[in-house]
Structure 1
Amino acid sequence: MNDLFSRLANLTARQAGRASTFVVSILIVVVWAVSGPFFHWSDTWQLVINTGTTIITFLMVFLIQNTQNRDTQALHLKIDELIRVSVDARNSMMTLEDATEEQIAIVKAELQDHCGEAAEIVRTAAG
């Protein structure tokens, strides 16, 4: 089931991101708007576009979340691989996404201090 959903999500995401899909969406809205006078701007006429866009939006939320989760996980794995092979890197960074907000704030402060020291060394050497 997960494999089928992943394949369907990938295919749909690729299609949804194409210029042609955007153009078709614009054409649908234009046709709907132009058809308004023929339906006397009825509640049913309005309901058609409202229902259609609501359903598409609802489904796209799950698709976008799936795509974002997969991309984020792949990015983490790539960065973890770079940390793993780097001699001077701290391997504890590989599990940072599992840390608490407080632990992340501490690491951020440490990195900012380190960057500040490095910037000062560069300024001194250049000066």
Structure 2
Amino acid sequence: MEKHFTKIANKVAHAAGKPVTFVACCGIIVLWAVTGPLMGFSDTWQLIINTSTTIVTFLMVFLIQNTQNRDGAALQTKLDELIRTSKAKNHFIGIEHLTETELEEIRKKCEEAAERAGEAAEEAEEAAA
């Protein structure tokens, strides 16, 4: 069941991002607008577009979120593997599970370390000159 859902979610998310899908949706809106005078701009006419767009939006949120979650997990796994197999510090593996505050602390420490490394490189260049 999960593989079937994943396959469908990928196809729908991919199709939703294509220009032809946007054009088709615009065409549906134009068609709906053209039928307004034929239906006397009735409540039913308005309900058709409101209900349709609400249903499509509701379903697309879940499909796109599912796709993004899997893409994010795959990317994180790839990064973790690169960290694990390199000289990088392995304590960075799994930091995506930390709180925002904990992540902010780590980010600040990384920025400070990068600044110190940059200053050291500048000093080395000046000493060599």
Deviation at 1:64, TM superposition (A): 1.0
**Partner in structure 2 of residue 33 of structure 1:** 33
Deviation at 1:58, TM superposition (A): 0.3
Output one character per residue of 1:26-76: Cα deviation in whole Å (capped at 9) or x when no partner: 100001111111111111111100000000000001011101100100110
Q: Which amino acid aligns with 2:105?
A: I
Q: More deviation in 102-111 or 7-16?
A: 102-111
* Residue correspondence of structure 1 range 78-89 to structure 2 within 5 A: 78-87=78-87, 89=88
* 1:124 and 2:123 correspond: yes
SS of corresponding position for 2:94:
helix
**Percent of paired sites with the same residue:** 48
Cα deviation code 1:66-114 (max 9, x no counterpart) = 0110010011011111101212x11010110122333222211210110
> How many pairs are equivalent?
126
1:126, distance to aligned residue in structure 2 (A): 4.5
- Matches of 1:20 and 1:98 in 2, distance apart? 38
Q: Give the structure 1 partner of residue 8 of structure 2.
A: 8
CA distance in 1, matches of 2:29, 2:5: 29
Aligned to 1:56: 56
1:101 aligns to 2:100 (yes or no): yes
Superposition TM-score, scaled by structure 1 size: 0.92
Letter of the aligned partner of 1:124 in structure 2?
Answer: E
| Residue identity in the other structure for 1:96 | I
Tell me which residue corresponds to 2:19.
19
Q: Within 1, Cα distance between the matches of 2:67 and 2:121?
A: 41
CA distance in 1: counterparts of 2:40 and 2:125, whole angstroms? 74
Mind listing any 5+ residue stretches in structure 1 that lack a counterpart?
Answer: none
Distance 1:118 1:50 in 2: 57
RMSD over aligned Cα atoms: 1.3
